[in-house]
Amino acid sequence: MKNAMKKNNARTILIKNGTIATLGEKNRVLSGHALLIEGGLIKKIAPQKSFRGKYTKVIDASGKLVMPGFINAHMHFYSTFARGLGKAAPSRSFVEILDNLWWRLDKKLTNADSYYSAVIPLIDAVRKGTTTIIDHHASPFSITGSLSAVEKAVRETGLRACLCYEVSDRDGKERAKEGLDENTAFIANAAAKDDGMVKAMFGLHASFTVSDETLEEAAYRGHKLGAGFHVHTAESQADQLHCESHHKVRVVERLRDFGILGRKSIAAHCVHVNPKEVEILAETGTAVVHNPQSNANNSVGIADVTGMTEKGVLVGLGTDAMTVNMMEEVRCGLWLQHLKRDPSQGFMEMANALLVNNAKIANRYFKGVGELKEGCAADLAVIDYLPPTPMDASNFAGHLIFGVSQSSVDTTICAGKVLMEGKKLKLDIDEAEVSRKSAELAKKLWSRF
Do both 181 and 63 map to the same domain?
no
Q: How far apart are the C-alpha atoms of 268 and 261, rounded to whole Å? A: 12
Residue 433 CB burial class (10 angstroms; 0-12, 13-18, ≥19):
exposed
Q: How far apart are the C-alpha atoms of 166 and 309, rounded to whole Å? A: 27
Q: Tally the residues of the chain.
A: 449
Total domains, the chain: 2
Residue 1 lies in a domain: no
pLDDT digits (tens, 9 = 90+) for 70-122: 999 999 999 999 999 988 999 999 999 999 999 999 999 999 999 999 999 99
User: For residue 4, what pLDDT band results from cuts at 50, 70 and 90?
Assistant: very low
Residue 449 lies in a domain: no
Do both 141 and 99 map to the same domain?
yes
Do both 40 and 174 map to the same domain?
no
Do both 410 and 333 map to the same domain?
no
Q: How far apart are the C-alpha atoms of 272 and 58, rounded to whole Å? A: 49
Residue 264 lies in a domain: yes
Contact yes or no for 345/306 (Cβ under 8 A): yes
Domain region containing 290: 70-362
Do both 131 and 181 map to the same domain?
yes
Please state the rounded mean pLDDT for residues 159-169: 98
Residue 49 CB burial class (10 angstroms; 0-12, 13-18, ≥19):
exposed
Residue 5 lies in a domain: no
Give the pLDDT score at 132.
98
Across 150-217, the runs of DSSP E, i.e. the strands, are 160-163, 198-200, 202-206
CATH number, position 80: 3.20.20.140
Q: How far apart are the C-alpha atoms of 273 and 380, rounded to whole Å? A: 35
pLDDT digits (tens, 9 = 90+) for 379-421: 999 999 999 999 999 999 999 999 999 999 999 999 999 999 9
pLDDT digits (tens, 9 = 90+) for 217-262: 999 999 999 999 999 999 999 999 999 999 999 999 999 999 999 9
Do both 64 and 77 map to the same domain?
no
User: How far, in Å, are 131, 376, 414 from residue 116 at the CA level?
Assistant: 19, 31, 21
Q: How far apart are the C-alpha atoms of 315 and 94, rounded to whole Å? A: 23
- Grouping H, G, I as helix, E, B as strand and the rest as coil, residue 41 is strand
Do both 157 and 106 map to the same domain?
yes
Residue 394 lies in a domain: yes
Could you tell me what percent of the chain has a pLDDT over 70?
98
Give the pLDDT score at 10.
56
6 has pLDDT over 90: no
DSSP for 85-140, written as a single string = ---SPP-SSHHHHIIIIIHHHHHH--HHHHHHHHHHHHHHHHHTTEEEEEE-B--T
Give the pLDDT score at 11.
86
Beta bridge partners of 21: 29
Query: Given the DSSP bridges, would you call strands 202-206 and 198-200 parallel, antiparallel or unpaired?
Result: unpaired
Do both 345 and 384 map to the same domain?
no
Residue 38 lies in a domain: yes
Residue 37 lies in a domain: yes
CA proximity to 290, closest of 317, 323, 272: 317
Task: Among 308, 341, 362, identify where a domain stops.
Answer: 362
Task: Among 334, 362, 390, identify where a domain stops.
Answer: 362
Residue 99 lies in a domain: yes
CATH number, position 421: 2.30.40.10
Q: How far apart are the C-alpha atoms of 410 and 419, rounded to whole Å? A: 11
Please indicate whether residue 25 or residue 442 has the higher confidence score (pLDDT): 442
How many Cβ atoms from other residues are within 10 Å of residue 34's Cβ?
24
Do both 256 and 348 map to the same domain?
yes
Over the range 185-197, which residues count as b (16 or more CB within 10 Å of their CB) and which as e? bbbeebeeeeeeb
Residue 436 CB burial class (10 angstroms; 0-12, 13-18, ≥19):
exposed
Q: pTM to 2 decimals?
A: 0.96
Over the range 252-272, which residues count as b (16 or more CB within 10 Å of their CB) and which as e? bbbbbebbbbbebbbbbbbbb
Do both 266 and 383 map to the same domain?
no
Do both 379 and 303 map to the same domain?
no
Do both 284 and 207 map to the same domain?
yes
How many Cβ atoms from other residues are within 10 Å of residue 159's Cβ?
26
